[in-house]
């Protein structure tokens, strides 16, 4: 069995962090985001990564950590369906499709077993939400079969509170529904057609946790969820910490000055934070220097930036250098519909 990990996007909503790092390589508790997916796969599943932007970072990580994965570069943005079609030659039977920015407690072994038991053509993972009017929800039958998708229904008209959770188990023949060398949305084009044709299309609901790490706020939330699951107040690499840290992750070779407070934040490697600083709901990329008495709230600081002593900043993205060559000024394509 193969697992196709979709990792081709630029991650524009996470800029400026993604100006210098591929989105799947953004650290969660000091490990690349993509590593959580790979480690959760059953033994023997072959990993295929549909990548494009900064794929050399992925290759380096795989090589250094002995991860046997095939990276297939997209010649152009292809959408979730087009990206899977582009790796078709590496797929030889039932396969998984996984979004690299989803962190969840989904048990892949049970997910695959459910798909096999139902003799499904496609099975998608499902997650319950409270605000159904903000998502596309499924019309799920008692036997687990999905009848249709309903986009952003009024609460009183919603057929369920279950949304697409971004993991799919599919039969090889499902690739016939995807036009080659084209931008194709699996969720908006392929799945509705499969359902319309009467193929057995099922949903698998799970519990625990699920988060789409597509924005700065959800990135921080994912960090807090993983810390809670590990029963830890924070994690830190090989760093010197003289201040207080709560619900945060600190990378390697960092210095946190005396009487500073780091709360609900993510600090990458090689950062220096001065004394009496307050960092709350922030993400600070590699190699940043934050001065004494600085107060940052809801701030994202790009790689290699410096913030002078005494500055107070809220609700901003800090990036003083030119936009990296080839990086889009706005989002390409559409995010996965949930």
- Quick: pLDDT tens for 102-118: 999 999 999 999 999 99
Tell me the backbone φ, ψ of residue 82, rounded to 5 degrees: -60, -35
Which pLDDT tens digit goes with each residue over 276-331? 999 999 999 999 999 999 999 999 999 999 999 999 999 999 999 998 887 887 65
Eight-class DSSP state of 42: P
Q: Nearest Cα to 21, choosing from 58, 59, 73? A: 58
Q: Nearest Cα to 108, choosing from 186, 206, 25? A: 206
Give the pLDDT confidence score for residue 134 in this predicted structure.
83
Give the pLDDT confidence score for residue 314 in this predicted structure.
97
Eight-class DSSP state of 22: -
Give the pLDDT confidence score for residue 277 in this predicted structure.
98
Q: Which domains does the chain have, with CATH numbers?
A: 2-212 (3.90.550.10), 233-318 (2.160.10.10)
**What span, in angstroms and rounded, lies between the C-alpha atoms of 206 and 126?**
7
**What span, in angstroms and rounded, lies between the C-alpha atoms of 170 and 167?**
10
Beta-carbon contacts of 222 under 8 Å, excluding residues fewer than 6 positions away, are 28, 103, 211, 213
Beta-bridge partner residues of 203: 124
Beta-carbon contacts of 61 under 8 Å, excluding residues fewer than 6 positions away, are 25, 32, 34, 67
Give the pLDDT confidence score for residue 174 in this predicted structure.
97
**Burial group, residue 75, by CB count within 10 angstroms (0-12, 13-18, 19+):** exposed
Integer CA distances (angstroms), 26 to 11, 57, 84, 219, in order: 10, 11, 23, 9
Q: In this structure, is the dihedral angle defined by the CA atoms of residues 26, 327, 287 and 290, taken in order, positive or negative?
A: negative
Give the pLDDT confidence score for residue 335 in this predicted structure.
46
Give the pLDDT confidence score for residue 62 in this predicted structure.
94
Ranges of the chain with pLDDT below 50: 333-338
Give the pLDDT confidence score for residue 126 in this predicted structure.
96
Contact 283, 301 (CB under 8 A): yes
């Amino acid at each position: 069995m193969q697992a196709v990990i979709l990792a081709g996007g630029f991650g524009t909503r996470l800029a400026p962090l993604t100006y210098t790092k591929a989105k799947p390589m953004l650290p969660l508790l000091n490990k690349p985001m993509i590593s959580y997916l790979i480690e959760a796969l059953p033994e023997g599943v072959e990993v295929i990564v549909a990548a494009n932007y900064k794929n050399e970072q992925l290759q380096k990580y795989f090589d250094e950590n002995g991860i046997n994965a095939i990276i297939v570069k997209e010649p152009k943005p292809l959408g979730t369906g087009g990206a899977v079609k582009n790796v078709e030659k590496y797929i030889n039977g039932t396969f998984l499709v996984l979004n690299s920015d989803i962190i969840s407690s989904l048990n892949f072994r049970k997910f695959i077993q459910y798909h096999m038991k139902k003799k499904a053509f496609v099975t998608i993972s499902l997650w319950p939400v409270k605000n159904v009017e903000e998502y596309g929800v499924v019309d799920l039958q008692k036997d687990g079969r999905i009848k249709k998708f309903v986009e952003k229904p009024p609460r009183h008209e919603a057929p369920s509170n279950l949304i697409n959770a971004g993991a799919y188990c599919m039969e090889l023949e499902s690739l016939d529904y995807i036009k080659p060398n084209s931008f194709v949305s699996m969720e908006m084009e392929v799945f509705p057609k499969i359902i319309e044709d009467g193929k057995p299309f099922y949903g698998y609901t799970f519990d625990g946790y699920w988060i789409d790490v597509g924005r700065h706020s959800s990135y921080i939330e994912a960090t807090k969820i993983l810390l809670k699951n590990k029963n830890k107040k924070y994690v830190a690499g090989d760093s010197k910490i003289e201040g207080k840290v709560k619900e945060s992750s600190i990378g390697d070779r960092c210095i946190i000055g005396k009487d500073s407070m780091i709360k609900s934040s993510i600090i990458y490697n090689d950062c220096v934070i001065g004394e009496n600083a307050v960092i709350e709901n922030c993400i600070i990329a590699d190699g940043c220097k934050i001065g004494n008495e600085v107060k940052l709230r809801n701030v994202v600081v790009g790689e290699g930036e410096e913030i002078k002593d005494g500055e107070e900043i809220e609700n901003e993205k800090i990036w003083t250098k030119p936009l990296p060559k080839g990086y889009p000024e706005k989002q390409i394509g559409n995010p996965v519909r949930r």
